[in-house]
Amino acid sequence: MRLATWNVNSVRLRLDQLGRIDQDLRPDVLCLQETKVTDELFPRDAFASLGFIHQALLGQKSYNGVAILSRRPLAAVTVRNWCGREDCRHLVATVDGLEVHCLYIPAGGDIPDPAQNEKFAHKLDFLESVTAWFAGLGNDRPRAVLGDFNIAPLESDVWSHRQMLKVVSHTPVEIAKAAELQKSLSFVDAVRHFVPETQRLSTWWSYRAADWTKSDRGRRLDHIWVTPDLKPRLAVARILTDSRGWTPPSDHVPVMVELA
């Protein structure tokens, strides 16, 4: 089973890229974030034509939105809301006994101070709530969490650890919260299972850079985590970096892992 995640940054703007991603990665399950479309306007037929006939959607107009698209039947589809908001960030479905979570953690704004920045305070509250919930689930079934976490947890997940320590996504408090979330069910970072922590990786490059390849100031914000029972089944991981140069580009690129 191949699992992929992509912050598509408006799904209707990227429809022409779906075939290329499908050809390159051939995912069985595709989790999307930031779909930015209501469910009734989601391009279901475009995905069905590629074989993703099983679809779970949680969308809203212009903001956020997540989707789980699968070649295999989906069961037990549920929506999780956090911090008293219905902002379409967490969708759950079971695929062949695997519980799949499509998770879009808030970005947190620009100022890394919860007292000055409500968006950053919300991000920290969101992380604490999700962590406590996962910790209470127990290890009764295999689980995979895919999505845009908006956190680059390792020094090698950013272009400059020193310069990024005061930038939202790589601040010490966010890194600590991400570690707590990972510990909640002893999640395995599926990509880093194959790539040493000393090797730099990125899945996001800002639109602000005139030439993202030349500046290469990327961050690894998109992740796939699996519960320890799935670790022996991890077969391969890929980051489709070239897609950042497609037109029109998302600022994120797809990430895929294969379970043997």
- Domain residues of the chain, as ranges? 2-259
Q: Looking at the predicted structure, is the pLDDT value of residue 157 above 90?
A: yes
Question: 209 with 255: CB under 8 angstroms?
Answer: no
Percent of the chain at pLDDT > 70 equals 100
Give the residue-averaged pLDDT of 186-191. 98
Residue among 130, 222, 125 nearest 169 (CA): 222
- The model's pLDDT over 209-259, given as tens digits with 9 standing for 90+, comes to 889 999 999 999 999 999 999 999 999 999 999 999 999 999 999 999 999
* Separation of alpha carbons 35 and 13, rounded Å: 10
Strand order in 222-226's β-sheet? Answer: 75-79, 90-95, 98-104, 143-148, 222-226, 188-189
Reading the block at residue 178, the tokens are 């991400």
Say yes or no to pLDDT of 144 above 90: yes
Q: How far apart are CA 245 and CA 83, in angstroms?
A: 36
Residue 1 to residue 230: CA distance in whole angstroms? 12
Encoded amino acid at 12, one letter: R
Output the pLDDT for position 25.
98
Asked whether residue 42 carries a pLDDT value surpassing 90, the answer given is yes
> In this predicted structure, what is the pLDDT of residue 167?
98
Instruction: Supply the mean pLDDT for the chain.
Output: 97
Sign of CA dihedral 32, 36, 40, 43: negative
CATH of domain 2-259: 3.60.10.10
Q: Could you write out the three-class secondary structure of 43-101?
A: CHHHHHCCCCCEEEEECCCCCCCEEEEECCCCEEEEECCECCECCCCEEEEEECCEEEE
106 has a pLDDT exceeding 90: yes
Output the furthest CA–CA distance in the chain (Å, rounded).
Answer: 48
Least reliable range by pLDDT among 1-5, 14-18, 218-222 = 14-18
pLDDT at residue 210, as a whole number: 84
pLDDT per position as a tens digit, 158-176? 999 999 999 999 999 999 9
State residue 131's pLDDT score: 98
**Mean pLDDT computed over 43-53:** 98
